[in-house]
Amino acid sequence: MLSLDFICQHPQVVQEALRRRRDMRKFDDIVRLAEQRRGLITRKDGLYAGLKGLKETLRTAQDEKRQALNAQTKATMIDIRKLELQVSDVDTHLRLLLLDFPNLPHESVQDCDADREVQVWGEPITYYFEPRAHWELGEQLGIIDAESGARIAGSRFVTLKGAGARLERALISFMLDVHTREHGYTEILPPFLARRSVMTGAGQLPKFEEQAYACSDDELYLNPTAEVPLVGMHSSSILLGDNLPIRYASWTTAFRREAGSVSHHTRGLIRLHQFNKVELFQIVTPQDSYYALEQMRSHAEAILRYLDLPYRVVELCAKNLPFSAAKTFDIEVWMPSQQEYVEIASISNCEAFQARRANIKYRPANGARTEYVHTLNASGLAVGRTMAALLEVYQQADGTVVIPKVLRPFMGTSLLTAASQ
C-alpha cells in the first residue's frame, strides 16, 4: 500500500507510475478525498480549540451566563462528533481506494509493451520423434488421472497416482533440501488457511477477491500462495535490524479459482485450481532488497540447473508487473510439445508495499526510529509445472521418461514406465 502523504506530495510521480502500468484508475478521487479530510480535520481542531476556551470561561462564569455557555458547549460537542463521523467515513473510503492501488514500478523497469529477455540457459533438445505433451505421457504412464480429478472436484483438478505422486513428493523434498541446505532458508510449514487481514496485508484482497476460495462461516481463505501466510507471520510487528534478513522456504498447496482467466494452457498440470509450490520469501532492509532480488533469482534458477531443464529469464515491463511488485523477473521453462517457454517461477521485490499493508517494521538500532521493511517473494519452484517440464524434456521415443540424477535418491528408480507404479 502506498503512503497517502507520498501520493499527495508527489502526485505527478504517482500519475506517471500509473501511466507506465497502463492503469487508468481515477487518481483524482484520492486527492479529492485527502483534501476533504484535511478540511474536516482543520474544522474539527478549530472546534476543539473553541471548546477548550468555552470550558475555561464556564469554569469562572456567573450563574446567569452558565445556561447559555452550557448550551453553546453542548452544540460545539455535537458539531465535533458530526465532523469525527465525517472524517471516519472519508478514512474508510480512502483506505478502500489505497488498498486497491498498485505498487509503483521501480525506475529500472522498462516502459514498453513487451517483456525483455535477459538470459537463456540450456539448449532445447532436438528429438528424432514427435514429442508428446506431458498430459499424454502422464496418462500413458498411469501417473496423471485428469478424469478422476474432474470427478472429485471438477475441471482443472487432477489426481496423481503411483510414481506420479512419488515424483511430486520427490520434487518438493529436493527443492526444500536445496533451499535450506545450500541457500540458507529456514523451512516453514504454515497453516493453509488465512484470515482476511492476512490476505489483505499480502496484497491479495480486495484486488483478487474473486480468485480466492473463501470459507465464509469462519472468515478464512484457502492459501493462494505461501507468500500470504509468510507475510502474516510478522504482521503488526517490529523486528530488530540485527535479525534481518529473514529467509523462509515454504511448501504449501495453493488454491486459486482462476476466475475470468484466459489461457490456452488448460490441459495437464500447467493451470490448475489446486497445485503445490515451494515459495521463497525474504524480509530485508530497504538498502538490501535489490541485492536480495538477484540472489533469489539465482536460487530459483539453481533448481532448474540441477534438473538440467532449459529455461530463460525475462524482466517484466511496467504494464505486466504483478499488483504488489515494484520489479519482477519471470523464469520460463522450455516445453518441447508446445515449442515454447512457459512460466515456472516469478521473483518479485515488493519493496515496502506489503510491509505498509501488514504493518511490518524494523528498528535499525537501539533508540532509532522504526522503518518499514522490504519484502520479496519467489517461486522456488511451481511443482506441477516442474513435473510437466520433466516429463516432456526427459521423454523417450517408447513413452518412458528418464528421471534426472538428482531425483533418483528420492524416487528409487531412474526410469518411469507404465509398470513403475
H or E element: which one contains 152?
helix 146-153
Angle at 344 between CA 286 and CA 341, to 5 degrees: 120
Question: Is the Cα torsion angle 411, 417, 419, 421 positive or negative in sign?
Answer: positive
Rg (CA), the chain: 27
**What type of residue sits at position 98?**
L
Strands (E), 78-234: 116-121, 144-145, 159-160, 186-188, 193-195, 214-215, 220-222
Q: Under a CB-based contact definition with an 8 Å cutoff, are residues 31 and 12 in contact?
A: no
**Annotated binding residues, as ranges?**
225-227, 256-258, 279, 343-346, 377, 379
- Across-strand partners of 207? none
Q: Please, where are the H alpha helices in 159-288? A: 163-181, 196-201, 227-232
> Could you say which of 271, 297, 356, 357 is catalytic?
271
In the residue annotation, 356 being an active-site residue is answered as: no
- Concerning whether 385 is annotated as a catalytic residue, the answer is yes
Q: CA 195, CA 177: separation in Å to the nearest integer?
A: 29
Residue ranges at the known binding site for ATP: 256-258, 343-346
DSSP state of 203: T
First to last CA, the chain: 49
φ/ψ region of 333 (left if φ > 0, alpha if ψ in -120 to 50, else beta) reads beta
Of the candidates 256, 297, 356, 357, the residue annotated as catalytic is 256
Active site residue 271: yes
Strand partners, 248: 186, 281
Which entry of 235, 250, 337, 346 is annotated as an active-site residue? 346
What cell numbers appear for 267 in the block? 490441459
Decide if 314 contacts 116 (C-beta within 8 A): yes
- CA dist 103 and 292 (Å) reads 18
**Could you tell me which residues are annotated as the binding site for L-serine?**
225-227, 256, 279, 377, 379
Identified catalytic residue from 187, 209, 343, 371:
343
123 is catalytic: no
Q: Running DSSP on this structure, what letter comes out for residue 183? A: S
Catalytic residues: 256, 271, 343, 346, 385
